[in-house]
Amino acid sequence: MTYTPKTFNIPVLKGISEKAIKVHLGLYEGYVKNVNLIMETLAGYAAYGDKASEGDKLAIAELRRRFAFEFDGMRMHEYYFPQFEGQKNGLPAQAGNPESALAKAAAEKYGSGENFLKHIREVSTTRGNGWTVVYYDTSGKTLHTVFVTNHELGQLAGLPIILAFDLWEHAYMVDYLPAEKKNYIDALFENCNWAIVEKRFDDAMKISAA
pLDDT in tens, 13-36: 999 999 999 999 999 999 999 999
At 147, phi and psi to the nearest 5?
-105, 115
Average pLDDT (155-169) is 96
Contact 117, 109 (CB under 8 A): no
Here the contacts of 147-151 (C-beta below 8 Å, separation 24 or greater) are 147/123, 150/69, 151/69, 151/72, 151/73, 151/76
**pLDDT the model gives residue 59:** 84
Residue 94 has pLDDT above 50, yes or no: no
Q: What does the chain come to in residues?
A: 210
Whether 6 is in a domain gets the answer: no
Could you give the CA distance from residue 186 to residue 182 in angstroms, rounded to a whole number?
Answer: 6
Which parts of 60-204 are beta strand (E)?
131-137, 142-148, 161-166
At 145, phi and psi to the nearest 5?
-115, 115
Whether 3 is in a domain gets the answer: no
Average pLDDT, the chain: 90
Could you give the CA distance from residue 23 to residue 148 in angstroms, rounded to a whole number?
Answer: 22
SS3 38: helix
Render pLDDT for 50-59 as a digit per residue (tens, 0 to 9).
Answer: 666 777 778 8
Contact 71, 155 (CB under 8 A): no
Whether 7 is in a domain gets the answer: no
Whether 8 is in a domain gets the answer: no
Render pLDDT for 125-153 as a digit per residue (tens, 0 to 9).
Answer: 999 999 999 999 999 999 999 999 988 88
Whether 42 is in a domain gets the answer: yes
For the chain, what is the domain count?
A: 1
CATH number at residue 122: 3.55.40.20
Whether 116 is in a domain gets the answer: yes
Task: Give Rg (Cα) of the chain.
Answer: 19
Which residues form the domain of 208?
15-210
